Structure 1
């Protein structure tokens, strides 16, 4: 039982080399679902980032 918990803990912490790539894929999928839910285009996000940097520089 204790060994199973350690294996599951190791699985969920992503200690292997592919863990970062897996986290990136999961993050992108969630971001795409949120964009679809809120009806946001990629161009809207790019314009928001541009406006943010312009306001920071001014």
Structure 2
């Protein structure tokens, strides 16, 4: 399975069962109420925080 993350999107290419597993892992990590937009904004904030701390 391949996934591509942009600033405002996530693209997953793979079998349905692979994508379900990935989404389930995200749900376990981020919580059942988190949306893709929440995950993207958090990753974007973390990316900028890590960049400024290096």
TM-score by length of 1: 0.33
| Structure with higher strand content | 2
Q: Which has the larger helix fraction?
A: 1
| TM-score, scaled relative to structure 2 | 0.35
Q: Larger RCO: Structure 1 or Structure 2 (Cα < 8 Å, ≥ 6 residues apart)?
A: 2
